[in-house]
Amino acid sequence: MNIAILTFDGYNELDSFVALGILNRIRDREWNVKITSPSPTVTSMNGLTVQSQQTLSFANSADVVIFGSGILTRKIAIDESIMGQFKLDPMRQVICGQCSGTLLMAKLGLLKSLPACTDLTTKPWVIEAGVDVVNAPFIANNNIATAGGCLASQYLASWIIARLVSREAAKEAIHYVAPVGEKESTVAHNMSVISDFL
């Protein structure tokens, strides 16, 4: 199971790394979760530089693709040297957008007439791209999912696990990362958000 978390310069740390941490809880299977970028390193909106783990071509063959978010997304959306590299297919891939990542999915024609989630800052640009934005943290339809608000990344990650492994595996992953003393309530709330889309 290859999972590409697309992470660009100006990225939002929560939007890429919360999903990375939760998806990596699946340890008993061959899950290969990689920060995937157009350059060998990428630097976040807050100046944090990470080494990319895969090049963009990895996304084209991955089982799951997550478009991360950041402050430069509108620039990336019109950068043909990046956008032209994607050859994604929602028939064979699970494709997800986190916050402004939804804008990149819209620009690639991946959302078509589907309603989508995004963050409040990106919302006008996603609407301008012709997408119906819903006031919710998470929405999915078949292989296409989107989440809005940094901490909604936990819903995106648990939905991916529930869809590809099981609800039980998703519950275990969220239980692990949930605050102590709030583990059961966090798992229950998480499942209530994603259950309609499983």
**Interface with its own copies (CB under 8 A), residue from 3, 6, 10, 12:** 12
Q: Is 16 exposed, middle or buried (0-12, 13-18, 19+ CB in 10 A)?
A: buried
Paired sense of beta strands 94-98 and 64-67, if any = parallel
Q: How far is the CB of 87 from its own copies (least distance, A)?
A: 26
Q: Is 121 helix (H, G, I), strand (E, B) or coil?
A: coil
Sheet containing 138-141, strands listed edge to edge, beginning at the edge strand earlier in sequence:
32-36, 2-6, 64-67, 94-98, 144-147, 138-141
Q: Which of residues 154-193 bind its own copies (CB under 8 A)?
A: 154-155, 176-183, 186
Among 80-88, 90-98, 136-144, 164-172, which window interacts with its own copies (CB under 8 A)? Answer: 136-144
Q: Which of residues 58-97 bind its own copies (CB under 8 A)?
A: none
Q: How far is the CB of 15 from its own copies (least distance, A)?
A: 9
Residue 23 to residue 31: CA distance in whole angstroms: 8
User: Under the rule (CB under 8 A), what is the footprint of its own copies?
Assistant: 12-14, 17-18, 20-22, 24, 33, 35, 41, 45-51, 53, 117-120, 135-138, 147-152, 154-155, 176-183, 186
